[in-house]
Amino acid sequence: MNKDVGVIRTFVCTIPDAASVSEIGEFIERIRGFREYKCVSLEQIHITLKFLGNTSLEQAQRLDTNLSRLGALRPFWVKIYHAGAFPNMSRPKSLWLGIRDGGDSLEKLASLVDKAAQKSGFAPERRRFKAHITVARARTEGELSEEMSNVLTCAPTPSWLVESFILMKSVLTPQGPVYTPLGEYPLK
């Protein structure tokens, strides 16, 4: 945890609607039975548009201003279509749900967020954007079991309307990260 005064850990994301979070939560409960994975809580379900990391309060204020000026996208629908793993299914470090419908719009929104972040003093994103929701992280390295592979083939397929995105503060605790919205920005 960062102990510097005036520095917070931040990211920009969008959050599924309550019905979709509930459906994703039911899927996560099936993973929870596998001790080799630590599941995310319902409060942590989101699609990261840009991870910012350590952020000064001044940068956060500039970013808030720049994000509030984005208006190039209208609300759009997204739909989950399958589950997968990073870096791959053979040796998963994290399990995720992938987005099909709306993926291009999410990528465009992530690009706009990245430009606003650059104007606010953050480095440009180097990694290619891959729209996903992380549902669990591996506690140890190892192969994906056949049982887990079977669970992943039964991924939920909720869809929801993305109407806004959020600048989020993240505080790391022994129980997991705690997220607090710093600003919400509607799509128009």
| pLDDT per residue as tens digits for the range 11-20 | 999 999 999 9
Q: Quick one: pLDDT at residue 90?
A: 87
User: Can you tell me the distance from the alpha carbon of 42 to that of 21, in angstroms, rounded to the nearest whole number?
Assistant: 7
Q: Quick one: pLDDT at residue 2?
A: 37
CB 71 within 8 A of CB 165: no
pTM equals 0.92
**Could you report the per-residue pLDDT of 126-160, keeping only the tens digit for each?**
999 999 999 999 998 888 899 999 999 999 999 99
Which of 42, 132, 32 has the alpha carbon at shortest distance from 87? 132
Q: Which residues of the chain have pLDDT under 70?
A: 1-5
Torsion angle of the four alpha carbons 103, 105, 107, 111, in this order, in degrees rounded to the nearest 10 = -170
Which alpha helices (H) appear in 34-152, and where do they start and end?
A: 57-68, 103-119, 146-152
Q: Which CATH number applies to 7-183: 3.90.1140.10, 1.10.1060.10, 3.90.380.10, 3.40.630.30?
A: 3.90.1140.10
Average predicted confidence (pLDDT) for the chain:
93
Q: What φ, ψ does residue 72 adopt, rounded to 5°?
A: -85, -5
Angle (deg, nearest 10), helices 103-119 and 57-68: 130
Q: Quick one: pLDDT at residue 1?
A: 31
Which of 188, 185, 16 has the alpha carbon at shortest distance from 116? 185
